[in-house]
Amino acid sequence: MSDELRGQARLFDALTTKGTAFTIEERRKLGLLGLLPTVVKTLGEQAEHIWHEFSSRHDDLDKHIYLRALQDRNETLFYRVLREHIPETLPIIYTPTVGEACQRFGEIYRRPRGLFVSYADRDCLGEVIGNRPQRDVDVIVVTDGQRILGLGDQGIGGMGIPIGKLSLYSLIGGIDPARTLPIVLDVGTDNVELLDDPHYLGWRHRRIDDEDYYAFIDKFVAAVHEQLPNVLLQWEDFATAHALPILARYRDKLLTFNDDIQGTAAVALGALHGAATAAGRPLSQQQVVMLGAGSAGIGVLDMIRQQMVTEGLSEKAALERIWVVDVVGLLTDDRTDLSAAQRAFAQPAGRVAGWGLSGAAQLADVVHQVDVGVLLGLSTAAGAFTEDIVREMAGKTARPIIFPLSNPTSRAEARPAELDQWTQGRALIATGSPFGPLLRKGVEQPVAQCNNVYIFPAMGLAVTAAQATRVTDEMMRVAAATLGDASPALADPDQPLLPAWTDVPDVAVRIAHAVAAQAVADGVAPKRTNDELAQRITQVRWIPEYPATPA
């Protein structure tokens, strides 16, 4: 295949090109003599040059476009640059910059990547999937663009998310970029601005209704499963109303998971492990409040509930410690507007009857009435964790655990510096978006970011190496526990709750080992010893190095 490419075809094949790093011998062998400048550079020298160019760009979106253009022309060099500069490039290729890239997708579009699966092509989805750029695929990330980060319906612009996610699968998890496939399901958009935008590149229709939608999803899944029966299919940024039903529909039939529901839950639980240890109070002894009752919030709470039970509580006792507030107010069992998943976390109305409220209890009411130790936000309600609420919470516990987890940065429930100030530096903080370090006693302290990149690349590596056929709840819980065990806060309560970005690839390998072993234990992967799984992980893990050209 690629080894047979010669001349310009080889030079411009992003997956196998070496650019100016082709040796003189390779240039003669591959018909490249005269097509490149005379100097032969090393991959390291190329990466240094790229970093200089990248650093000269001051606008984050411009940096994003620059890196995407690099990826389009030389994947190995792209990942080498990213690997050498993970803390600096992660916010550029993913949150928060990817949000703006999705909003301006039509404006900054340069060349296609992945598959655009349109409802207009619903009768020939087999042909669409058959036209994928690469035959062999290990991981697909798919979105329908309806709930991009905290930005809402971005239609076909949501393609920026699968592209960004898969870049992290390769960078952190070592999934070969030649074996990844980003997909956007173009089922219309209800974003009127996009429909009226002459630059919009998607199907110019309102979103299809649920009957047509689920039929289309079924067709899509069938086409993928027929041609790629062993692929990991990750669902990303689907609206709450669709995310949970889709996961429930396919999780026992395919190798699949929803990162917003399960990945977010796993990384949050991993951070909570370090926070609870630093606070000196196990999760099962905490009262937990969640602002936000979407699929991500419910997914986090479900894993917290499971953890509380693991720590010894009954199911009923665990649920009594979990309080959920949405746009209406506290979830209580007398409300008629709750989904089945939300209803599982509704408090008995009688528990709040004595609070003396004229309407539904709000976040401030819950914090006032309950001995809250953990405050989580997945609401996209910017500034919802007010000074009054935080100060009242901090008056009840020595080490308040506060996680404003909404994305992007502009939608965070509070800023870490505010939380630090309002709690006199006592808060244990993790965020959903990247924030600058806190300054405590003249020393900069990084703020842990509950970025799903701690979890999903490791899951991809684990299931690929173990040849798993399903993603089980136990596999996700093991991933969270292994991440929690890597928390710097376990050794020093003043350290961040999650590992530094530079350590994430190594942590991903540890998580992959644990998850692969759990897949075997759960009976969803072939029997292998731990040593055999370690060998498999080493074998399949891709690193950004130029291969030697065969003689």
Same-domain status, 446 and 458: no
Domain ranges, residue 505 = 454-540
The answer to the question of whether 365 is labelled as a binding residue is no
- Concerning whether 165 is annotated as a catalytic residue, the answer is yes
Q: What is the pLDDT of residue 150?
A: 77
> Residues 215, 140: one domain?
yes
Q: What is the DSSP string of 233-274?
A: EEE-S--HHHHHHHHHHHTTTSSEEEIIIIIHHHHHHHHHHH
Q: Which amino acid, 280? A: G
Boundary (domain end) residue, out of 91, 122, 151? 91
Query: From first to last of its 551 residues, what are the pLDDT tens digits of the chain?
Result: 455 899 999 999 999 999 999 999 999 999 999 999 999 999 999 999 999 999 999 899 999 999 999 999 999 999 999 999 999 999 999 988 999 999 999 999 999 999 999 999 999 999 999 999 999 999 999 999 999 887 899 999 999 999 999 999 999 999 999 999 999 999 999 999 999 999 999 999 999 999 999 999 999 999 999 999 999 999 999 998 899 899 999 999 999 999 999 999 999 999 999 999 999 999 999 999 999 999 899 999 999 999 999 999 999 999 999 999 999 999 999 999 999 999 999 999 999 999 999 999 999 999 999 999 999 999 999 999 999 999 999 999 999 999 999 988 889 999 999 999 999 999 999 999 889 999 888 889 999 999 999 999 999 999 999 999 999 999 999 999 999 999 999 998 889 999 999 999 999 999 999 999 999 999 999 999 999 999 999 999 999 999 886 65
**Structural domain contains residue 233:** yes
Residue 406 lies in a domain: yes
Same-domain status, 290 and 388 = yes
Domain boundary among 450, 466, 487: 450
Q: Are residues 352 and 399 in the same domain?
A: yes
Domain membership flag for residue 98: no
Q: What is the pLDDT of residue 494?
A: 82
Domain count, the chain: 4
Candidate list 165, 169, 200, 546, residue with the active-site label? 165
CA distance 450 to 455: 10
Is 74 annotated as a binding-site member?
A: no
Same domain, 438 and 462: no
CATH number of residue 15's parent domain: 1.20.1370.30
- What pLDDT, on the 0 to 100 scale, is given for residue 96? 86
Q: Per the domain annotation, does 335 fall within a domain? A: yes
Q: Is 147 part of any known ligand binding site? A: yes
Supply the DSSP symbol for 155: G
| Pair (436, 338) in one structural domain | yes
List, in order, residues 6 or more apart from 78 with CB less than 8 Å away. 67, 70, 71, 544
Asked if residues 346 and 335 have their Cβ atoms less than 8 Å apart, the reply is yes
Q: Rounded distance, CA 72 to CA 299, Å? A: 35
Residues 336 and 441 in one domain: yes
pLDDT of the residue at 1: 42
Same domain, 170 and 282: no
Say if residue 279 is in the same domain as residue 359.
Answer: yes
Residue after which a domain boundary falls, among 232, 254, 276: 254
Q: Let me know: does 520 contact 527? Beta carbons within 8 Å.
A: yes
> Residues 23, 25, 31, 37: what is their CA dihedral angle, to the nearest 10 degrees?
40
Residue whose C-alpha is closest to residue 183's, from 203, 146, 156 = 156
CATH number of the domain bearing residue 351: 3.40.50.720
452 marked as part of a ligand binding site: no
Rounded to 10 degrees, what is the CA torsion of 24, 27, 28, 30?
150
Q: Are residues 26 and 63 in the same domain?
A: yes
Who contacts 81 (Cβ-Cβ below 8 Å, separation ≥6)?
Answer: 47, 50, 51, 54, 67, 70, 89
User: Could you tell me if residue 551 is inside a domain?
Assistant: no
User: If DSSP codes are grouped into helix, strand and coil, which group holds residue 420?
Assistant: helix
Q: Is residue 458 a part of any domain in this protein? A: yes
Q: Is 407 annotated as a binding residue?
A: yes
443 domain residue, yes or no: yes
Which of 63, 79, 94, 213 is an active site residue?
94
On whether 451 is known to bind a ligand per the annotation, the reply is: yes
pTM: predicted TM-score of the whole model, two decimal places: 0.91
Cα–Cα distance, 45 to 445 (Å, whole number): 32
Residue 549 lies in a domain: no
Nearest Cα to Cα of residue 275 among 494, 480, 501: 494
Q: In terms of domains, do 68 and 189 share one?
A: no
| pLDDT for 433 | 86
- The answer on 286 and 243 residing in a single domain is no
Per-residue model confidence (pLDDT) at position 440? 83
| CA dihedral of 471, 472, 476, 477, whole degrees rounded to 10 | -170
SS (H, E, C) 505-536: HHHHHHHHHHHHHHHHHCCCCCCCCHHHHHHH
